[in-house]
Amino acid sequence: MYRVRVRSVPPVVLALRRFPNPRLTGIGAGLFASLTMFVLACVDRLLFDSSELVYGLLFLPVSALTALWVRPADLVTAPISVPIAFAVGVFPISGGSEGFGGQVMGLVTALAVHAGWLYGGTLIAGLIASVRKVRQMRARRRYVLAQGRGGAPAPASERAPRSAASAAAAAAAAAAKPVRAGAGGAGAVARRPQRP
């Protein structure tokens, strides 16, 4: 007797499956990341006195969630929307002086100081989006091969009955065609040459 092995799913995977799994459009993922980072930056300013470390550590999971929750058709937007969300969120903790010019200079300085966190979050989003894209392409290829539309020629065993059937149909059509008198063919008599 054969024993059937049942693969057990690790508890971590089961716990991750319980989390929500929305599918956001490209614009929705960008809005999600931007609003989340802005709210987290405000909380960071109130509770942690605009800590750069706290903001950077909170940016990494938001980047991962943005890349995980964007729908497959918009995967390319995840690494683009994450840096924009970082810039939107860093505004409350930039610490610029009063006036528009001072706020802009504070924002540019904060982006330069936090560049490591920015690159790290963008790299995480890019890696997750790339892995999801590769998995999607492999699943699509398996589906196409399973449907038999992979573009490969049919085996000779499948082509032979069709060609034999078409040859039989052509022979039956030729036999049923009436022959006119005087028409050339295998049984036709050769005409005599006419005199000038």
- pLDDT at position 134 is 92
- pLDDT at position 104 is 78
188 pLDDT more than 50? no
Q: What is the pLDDT of residues 54-93, one digit of tens each?
A: 888 999 999 999 999 898 888 888 899 999 999 888 887 7
Closest residue by Cα to residue 85 from 51, 113, 106, 55: 55
- pLDDT at position 195 is 62
- pLDDT at position 131 is 92
Closest residue by Cα to residue 61 from 42, 85, 90: 85
- pLDDT at position 160 is 45
Whether residue 90 contacts residue 137, with contact meaning beta carbons closer than 8 Å, is answered with no
157 pLDDT more than 50? no
Average pLDDT of span 95-105: 72
Six-digit token string for 38: 């802005």
- For the whole model, what pTM was predicted? 0.61
Query: 38-42, 50-54, 155-159: which has the highest mean pLDDT?
Result: 38-42
Q: What is the pLDDT of residues 111-132, one digit of tens each?
A: 887 788 889 999 999 999 999 9
List, in sequence order, every residue forming a beta bridge with 24; answer none if it has no partner. 70
- pLDDT at position 102 is 76
In the chain, what is the straight-line distance between the N-terminal and C-terminal CA atoms, in Å? 95
184 pLDDT more than 70? no
CA distance 38 to 58: 11
- Band of pLDDT at residue 103, cut at 50, 70 and 90: confident
- pLDDT at position 13 is 65
CA distance 36 to 52: 16
CA distance 146 to 158: 17
Six-digit token string for 20: 């929500």
DSSP code per residue over the chain:
-PPPPPPPPPHHHHHHHTS----B-HHHHHHHHHHHHHHHHHHHHHHSSS-HHHHHHHHHHHHHHHHHHB-GGGGGGHHHHHHHHHHHHHGGGS---SSHHHHHHHHHHHHHHTHHHHHHHHHHHHHHHHHHHHHHHHHHHHHHHHHT-SSPPPPHHHHHHHHHHHHHHHHHHHHHSPPPTT--SSSPPPPPPPP-
- pLDDT at position 91 is 81
